[in-house]
Chain A
Amino acid sequence: MSARHLCVSFDDVSILRDIDLNFFPGTTVAILGANGSGKTTLVKAMLGLLPMHEGTVSVHGQSINEFKDWHRIAYVPQKLINVETVPVSVFETVSSALIYPRKKISTKQKRIAVLSALVQVGLQDRAKDRLDELSSGQQRRVLLARALATEADIYVLDEPTAGVDSDNQEMLVAAVRGLVARGACVIMITHELGPFKYDVDRAIVLFGGGVSFDGPVAQLPAELENSHHSHADSKPVRLMNS
């Protein structure tokens, strides 16, 4: 997956300018930055959810506008699912990831994939429960299970551990480790590396609409490690631009 000269503007206000990024198989990449630095906007633009003002995004060699193999991408949104409407079971929520217009998956295959994903996030006993009966941390784990149930090779996770307690965070780290081990690329938006500190291969820090740091986590300046501390007065550091 790559972005070239990616620019995003809303109502003539520039949010992202001239972003060039490449993402490779078998790696975990953390996108860091202060609130409003454009982390979510970047991944949404790369996934085609937001219009780009300029630039191109390609996935597996195809332009995002022509890309059709959507089963190869899995996404965990930042926002939890709205549970204040019709009751939805945990099983239904996870299996909703396996609905593709161009690829049919049998009921049996779906069931196996869903239950296996729920095991990975420790919620195998809650499959039949209503999603709204779960805590927000558990609902976040359900969203991750929804991504894990797919056979994607690119995973985009927006704040995957928000609200998840530390014991279960370790479980999510193990699940992400499994994805990378089978060659997937995991792109993670997070405020802090936290439990993923030893698993993230590369960090990208957004600042002022551009990339202020892109390189190995070991070279990440300590003050940038936690996005809470990447204040507007932080000086941009550009070590590498892949």
Chain B
Amino acid sequence: MLAYEFMQRALIAAVIVGLISPLIGVFLVQRRLALLGDGMGHVAITGVGLAFLTGTEPVLTALIVSILGAFILELVRNKSKAAGDLALALIFYGGIAGGVLLTSLAGGKASTALNQYLFGSLSTVSTQDFLALGGATIVLLLVLLKFGTQIFAMSLDTETAQIQGIRVTAMSVLLTSMAAVTVVVGMRTVGLLLVSAIMIVPVAAAQQLTHSFKATGLLASAIGAFAATGGLTVSFYFDVPPGPTIVLIALGVFVILAVTTTSLHLRHRNEIQEQVPHRH
């Protein structure tokens, strides 16, 4: 598998996506915004459609449109009376409708090409994409290093964070923008419709075992990398898109950990109950 240059690129890209996505996803889950990545994915579809129509680079156009979508989403959430999930739904529908419309207007092979962006493709990770992905990941890591603790404090308790002088609106916009960048980073390998899953599912799996936020983020990142590597390998040998296989492996890890920890908890509880002397 690794004899092919495109597979080497795809594998490295997938591992990077697997590592970085849960590090952003852990903050989204903490803020109860697990579906935000989905919203950003749908907005990115409009970006890809716009790129097809204008003949520009899809990664760059999707990135610009997604970040713009992130700002609009935060504006709607803050300034209007629309609830967070309603604002997200509006962005969802607008994004996918715009993307499909623009792709249809672009004509030619655009509709077929869109499929590769929706579910990922092994052969579409070009050297240019690879460099863009690396650059975006470095930016994400630097932002996390600089503002990660402030975003954590905001996610934990917004009001107290505000009293600590943390600019909570700015941090919220920053987090949404980071989710938008992560979506674009993952769109070539996992695909726009499933990239949100690689942000969230490893976090859900990791928190079955962990006792702290930091440990959850790190373990989720490892699970993400494992799912990405495994999913890409399955995708290569069975000739199926990598997005679904990566996500299904991550879901498999979640199910195994959830069942194991639940049975261990039940067993532990039963043992305690047996040790308690019965009153007659």
Contact = CB atoms under 8 A, between A and B. Distances in A.
A21 to B, nearest CB: 18
Q: Quick one: which of B26, B165, B167, B214 has the most chain A CB within 10 A?
A: B165
Contacts of A101: 150, 164-167
A8 to B, nearest CB: 16
Nearest to A81: B157
Given A87-B210, A89-B211, A129-B211, A47 B157 contact: no
Q: How large is the interface on A (under 10, 10 to 19, 20 to 34, 35 or more residues)?
A: 20 to 34
A100 B105 CA distance: 50
Prevailing SS type, chain A contact patch = loop
A190 B167 CA distance: 29
A99 interface: yes
Q: Quick one: which of B162, B207, B211 has the most chain A CB within 10 A?
A: B211
A99 B152 contact: yes
B159 A87 contact: no
Given A75-B159, A89-B213, A99 B207 contact: no
Prevailing SS type, chain B contact patch = helix
Interface in A100-135: 100-102, 128-130
Contacts of A86: 26, 29-30, 203, 207, 213, 216
Interface string A91-102: 111001101111
Contacts of A73: 163
B112 interface: no
B178 to A, nearest CB: 16
B167 A92 contact: no
Contacts of B267: none
A49 interface: yes
B270 interface: no
A229 interface: no
B156 interface: yes
Given A85-B32, A86-B207, A87-B213, A96 B156 contact: yes
A71 interface: yes
Interface in A121-180: 128-130, 146
Contacts of A129: 211
A197 interface: no
A91 B212 contact: yes
A70 B163 contact: yes
Interface of B: 26, 29-32, 149-150, 152-153, 156-157, 159-167, 203, 207, 210-216
Ranked nearest first, the 7 interchain pairs of A and B with the lowest CB-CB distance are A70-B165, A89-B212, A99-B153, A86-B30, A75-B163, A96-B153, A99-B149
27 contacts: A44-B159, A49-B159, A70-B165, A73-B163, A75-B159, A75-B163, A82-B32, A85-B29, A85-B30, A85-B31, A85-B32, A86-B203, A87-B210, A87-B215, A87-B216, A89-B212, A92-B212, A92-B213, A96-B153, A96-B160, A96-B161, A99-B149, A99-B152, A101-B166, A128-B212, A129-B211, A130-B211
Interface of A: 44, 47-49, 68, 70-71, 73-75, 77, 81-82, 85-89, 91-93, 96-97, 99-102, 128-130, 146
